Amino acid sequence: MGRCGGDRQAEHLPTRWPQLLDPGTLEAVVLTMGSKQTVFTREQLEEYQDCTFFTRKEIMRLFYRYQDLAPQLVPLDYTGCPAVKVPYELIGSMPELKDNPFRQRIAQVFSDDGDGHMTLDNFLDMFSVMSEMAPRDLKAYYAFKIYDFNNDDYICAWDLEQTVTRLTRGELSAEEVSLVCEKVLDEADSDHDGRLSLEDFRNMILRAPDFLSTFHIRI
């Protein structure tokens, strides 16, 4: 029951889902037919709309941004779900990400294999979570994963050091960095095991007044 099965006429008539052929859906089909997009099937677009916080127009816009990153690599027809990954170097050179000190971590967290090379699904996921419509909990979960540099599901002192060093571009002395990390663990580590679990992190970040406004990428 793949969504990208060999049915090439899928973009014109939803022959797979006969129970959706009531008048309301036919109208929707007629409207879609008038819009001339041939990149996705109608179901694909609807599924993307249900699984991300984007509207149809935004999804199409995102697709074209993705395609622009690697025009040779990304086909203009996604009805067959091609398995295409855009390498990390191109993702990291997007204007929205290129000045971000955590761009590598972001790409790694949202990519399939943790190597930073992203498929379109990963790309949409990433911007959906970073959009302003995403709820706090979801953002907190992904923020935790981003700041967990060694992927051990805990933010330990080394992770904190990495974060602080990247935030200050190495301008703080080692002593100052370790002081900051100590203070963070002091404040947020409630079970006193020397590192932050997801619970500790969520507890701390959900009360921050400017978390939502800073953890936001506009595209």
Partner 1 sequence: MIANVKCKPWKMEKKIEVLREAKKFVSENEGALGKGKGKRWFAFKMMMSKKWAKFLRDFENFKAACVPWENKIKAIESQFGSSVASYFLFLRWMYGVNMVLFILTFSLIMLPEYLWGLPYGSLPRKTVPRAEEASAANFGVLYDFNGLAQYSVLFYGYYDNKRTIGWLNFRLPLSYFLVGIMCIGYSFVVVLKAMTKNIGDDGGGDDNTFNFSWKVFCSWDYLIGNPETADNKFNSITMNFKEAITEERAAQVEENVHLIRFLRFLANFFVFLTLGASGYLIFWAVKRSQEFAQQDPDTLGWWEKNEMNMVMSLLGMFCPTLFDLFAELEDYHPLIALKWLLGRIFALLLGNLYVFILALMDEINNKIEEEKHVKANITLWEANMIKAYNASLSGNTTGPPFFVHPADVPRGPCWETMVGQEFVRLTVSDVLTTYVTILIGDFLRACFVRFCNYCWCWDLEYGYPSYTEFDISGNVLALIFNQGMIWMGSFFAPSLPGINILRLHTSMYFQCWAVMCCNVPEARVFKASRSNNFYLGMLLLILFLSTMPVLYMIVSLPPSFDCGPFSGKNRMFEVIGETLENDFPSWMAKILRQLSNPGLVIAVVLVMALTIYYLNATAKGQKAANLDLKKKMKMQALENKMRNKKMAAARAECRSLQPVDSNFLSLPEDQKSSFPSSSKVMTHVKFQRTSFGEQLLCSTLDGIPDVFINEGCLSPPRARKISMLL
Contacts to partner 1 from residues 118-157, by CB under 8 A? 121-122, 124-125, 128, 130, 133-135, 137-138, 141-143, 147, 152-153
Residue 115 interacting with partner 1 (CB under 8 A):
no
Alpha-carbon span 46 to 30, nearest angstrom = 15
Cβ burial, residue 72 (10 Å; 0-12/13-18/19+): exposed
To the nearest whole angstrom, how small is the minimum distance from the Cβ of residue 8 to partner 1? 20
Q: Which CB, 86 or 160, lies closer to partner 1?
A: 160
Alpha-carbon span 28 to 25, nearest angstrom = 5
Q: Spell out the residues 6+ positions from residue 88 whose beta carbon is closer than 8 angstroms to its own.
A: 104, 107, 108, 111, 115, 116, 117, 118
Name the segment binding partner 1 (CB under 8 A); options: 58-66, 71-79, 84-92, 165-173. Answer: 165-173
Q: Give, as ranges, the residues between 23 and 82 that touch partner 1 (CB under 8 A).
A: 23-24, 47, 50-53, 55
To the nearest whole angstrom, how small is the minimum distance from the Cβ of residue 141 to partner 1? 5
Residue 163 interacting with partner 1 (CB under 8 A):
yes
Secondary structure of residue 155 in the 3-state scheme = strand
Q: How many CA atoms lie within 13 A of 45 on its CB side?
A: 22
Residue 193 interacting with partner 1 (CB under 8 A):
yes
Residue 113 interacting with partner 1 (CB under 8 A):
no
User: Phi/psi at 217 (nearest 5 deg)?
Assistant: -115, 130
Among 6, 34, 113, 192, binds partner 1 (CB under 8 A): 192
Residue 198 interacting with partner 1 (CB under 8 A):
yes
Alpha-carbon span 57 to 207, nearest angstrom = 33
Q: Which CB, 72 or 88, lies closer to partner 1?
A: 88
Q: Give, as ranges, the residues between 80 and 99 that touch partner 1 (CB under 8 A).
A: 95-96, 98-99
Size of the site for partner 1 (CB under 8 A): 72
Tokens 């090439």, residue?
A: 8
